[in-house]
Structure 1
Amino acid sequence: MTTLFTSYRLGSLSLPNRMVMAPMTRVRAAAGGLATPSMASYYAQRATAGLIVTEGVQPSPVGQSNPGTPGLHTDEQTASWRTVTDAVHTNGGRIFAQIMHGGRVSHADTTGLQPVGPSPVPAVGAVFTPAGPQPAPVPRALSTAEVPEQALSYAGAARRAVEAGFDGVELHGANGYLISQFLSSNANVRTDRYGGSVSGRIRFAVEAVSATADAVGAERTGIRLSPGGTFWGVQESEVADLYTALLAELAPLGLAYVHVEATADEETLLRLRRAWPGTLVMNPVVPMGPKQTGRSEADHWLGLGADLISFGRGFLANPDLVERLRTGLPISPVDETTYYQGGDAGYLTYPAYQHTA
């Protein structure tokens, strides 16, 4: 019988359990988008996860969404990540970098550049900037000739990730960021080959994933998706058909995995499970929603055919989450006020469970 604690083979990696630490923005990078010693400690503390997926890492200057986030587009950034990957591997872990292009979810006050997107349609809500939240700006629509360059930026960052010692990469294709914007039917109102029909709207995602797989190997490449999600105001028409078509294009590549968020009804998600022949990582609850993934949600999706289960806030507040779930120990709550405040408080200060006599 498969449980959370059954081992799993993911490409060349042997995972000791089926628990994935989900990517979570923590805005603790140093100036210049550099990874820090505190980030190395943070990820190393959680190395008992079957697989760690990092916070979103920008692949280019214009791809940066939030202040204080790390990058993988300069030599200095690449070198800084080596401390992180070495720390995780020394503690026996495995780690993928999540490559995240913010697209329209950005601001010139953060990057010095006008955000770009598939169309000149702003995100819904306020974006983070060094001066605090500000209304999302109107992005500059990428020309047809410019779109491939943005797709290739994921591959360039992936090459740097492997150079920095990561075991692989996950493309952030979810939650209203650039790939998700192209999949959207309201953020993407293009009339060229990257818009309109389902085949047009999936084209950017397929090109970004294909380029990355070519660059570092398909077995080192995954993608995260949020079918039907409405983050940052995106909407998607024909959700089931859209994602079935996307998975059909990705299936021949032999990717490491597809990471799906529970942003659609279970019937739709099961249809996607049937459409995807490879490894499925399931995030059983909506990210940042009222409920956290627990043992019951994990077991439910393992029973429905998921191969791996991702946990976000549980790993944030419980560096020893694997052992706590294995032995039924209490799960510590997360302090939401420390999510993005910087510093080590609420970052390195969550302890492993303290047994008392």
Structure 2
Amino acid sequence: MTTLFDGYALGSLPLPNRVVMAPMTRSRAAAGGLATASMATYYAQRASAGLIVSEGVQPSLIGQSNPGTPGLHTDEQVAAWRPVTAAVHANGGRIFAQLMHGGRVSHPDTTGMTPVGPSAVAAAGDVFTPSGPQPAPVPRALETAEVPEHARSYAEAARNAVAAGFDGVELHGANGYLISQFLSSNANVRTDAYGGPVAHRIRFAVEAVTATAEAVGGSRTGIRLSPGGTFWGVRERDVPELYAALLGELARLDLAYVHLEATLPEEPLVELRRAWPGTLIINPTVPMGPKQTSRADADHWLGLGAELISFGRGFIANPDLVERLRIGLPIAPVDEATYYQGGDAGYLTYPAYQHAA
């Protein structure tokens, strides 16, 4: 029987266990979207994960969603990431960069530009800005001729990620950001080749992933998806058909993995497992939901055919989460007030488990 602590070959990348650190925004980058020494320490502390997926990294300035997030679209940003990836590798870890284009989930106060999206439809709720939460603005709808440029931005950032020492990249196709907006049937009300029927709504995702796989190789390319999710007000019609069609197209690319969030009931998620011929990472609990992923959740999904299990919040307060899961140690609680506040408190200040003398 497969266990969470068995090794796994992710293409040519050997993983010592099947625990994945999920991408989590922490808003600790320096001005200019630069990675920092504290970020190097943070990721290196968690290098016992089978695979780390970084926080969302913007592939372009207009793709930046939140203040304080890092980028991979300038030479300075590439140079700033090198000590981070080197620190992870020195501690025996492996790390993919998550490439996250926010699309309409952004604000001019953050980027200096009007956000773009598939259609001129605002996201639901307030977005983060340097001066605090503000209502999501109405984005500018991309012209048909502009769309391929934004798909290619993932590939360009992926080249930069490899140059910065990352082992690969994960495209953020989930949670209401740009790829998810194109998959949506209410954020995307286009009538051209990128909107309307399922075959059109998956086009942007397929083009972005294809360009990335061509740039750095399919074995270095993954994608995260939240089928049926409603983050930032997105809605999707024909969810089973939509994701079956998308996975069918992606299966041609020999990708490293697909990373699914548990945004559907178990039965349709298992059907997607059956539809995907490659490596599947499952995040068994809804991001930011009331429940954190447990060892029991992980074991359950390994039994259902997932190869790798991602843990999010558990890694924030438990840099040694793999060892805690392995021997059944208590999982330390996280201080939610420090998620995005900046600084090292609530970032580098969580210790490994202290065994009694």
Partners of 1:260 and 1:21 in 2: CA distance: 14
2:51 alignment partner in structure 1 = 51
2:323 alignment partner in structure 1 = 323
1:274 alignment partner in structure 2 = 274
Partners of 2:252 and 2:295 in 1: CA distance: 33
Partners of 2:12 and 2:313 in 1: CA distance: 28
Unmatched 5+ stretches in structure 2? none
Partners of 1:45 and 1:241 in 2: CA distance: 41
Partners of 1:235 and 1:16 in 2: CA distance: 38
SS in 2 for 1:146: helix
Partners of 2:125 and 2:332 in 1: CA distance: 31
Q: Which amino acid aligns with 1:139?
A: P
Summarize the alignment of residues 223-302 of structure 1 with structure 2, pairs less than 5 Å apart: 223-302=223-302
2:187 alignment partner in structure 1 = 187
SS in 1 for 2:144: coil
**Identical residues among aligned pairs (%):** 81
Q: Which amino acid aligns with 2:324?
A: R
SS in 2 for 1:70: coil
2:172 alignment partner in structure 1 = 172
Q: For residue 219 of structure 1, report the CA deviation from its aligned partner.
A: 0.1
Summarize the alignment of residues 1-357 of structure 1 with structure 2, pairs less than 5 Å apart: 1-357=1-357
Q: For residue 51 of structure 1, report the CA deviation from its aligned partner.
A: 0.1
Q: For residue 267 of structure 1, report the CA deviation from its aligned partner.
A: 1.3
Partners of 1:280 and 1:83 in 2: CA distance: 29
Unmatched 5+ stretches in structure 1? none
SS in 1 for 2:96: strand
Q: For residue 80 of structure 1, report the CA deviation from its aligned partner.
A: 0.3
Q: For residue 265 of structure 1, report the CA deviation from its aligned partner.
A: 1.1
Question: Which 4+ stretches in 1 moved above 2 angstroms?
Answer: none
SS in 1 for 2:240: helix
Q: Which amino acid aligns with 2:117?
A: G
Q: Spell out, residue by residue over 1:82-113, the C-alpha distance to the aligned partner (whole angstroms, 9 max, x if none).
A: 00000000000000000000000000000000
Q: For residue 342 of structure 1, report the CA deviation from its aligned partner.
A: 0.2
Q: For residue 12 of structure 1, report the CA deviation from its aligned partner.
A: 1.1
Partners of 2:300 and 2:199 in 1: CA distance: 33
Aligned residues: 357
Q: Which amino acid aligns with 1:354?
A: Q
Partners of 1:157 and 1:283 in 2: CA distance: 25
Q: Spell out, residue by residue over 1:178-223, the C-alpha distance to the aligned partner (whole angstroms, 9 max, x if none).
A: 0000000000000000000000000000000000000000000000
SS in 1 for 2:145: coil
Partners of 1:315 and 1:17 in 2: CA distance: 15
Partners of 1:355 and 1:266 in 2: CA distance: 37
Partners of 1:30 and 1:265 in 2: CA distance: 39
SS in 1 for 2:345: coil
Q: Spell out, residue by residue over 1:102-149, the C-alpha distance to the aligned partner (whole angstroms, 9 max, x if none).
A: 000000000000000000000000000001000000000000000000
Partners of 1:48 and 1:15 in 2: CA distance: 10
Partners of 1:118 and 1:299 in 2: CA distance: 39
Partners of 2:333 and 2:13 in 1: CA distance: 31
Q: For residue 266 of structure 1, report the CA deviation from its aligned partner.
A: 1.0
- Could you state the TM-score of these two structures normalised by the residue count of structure 2? 1.00
Q: Which amino acid aligns with 1:41?
A: T
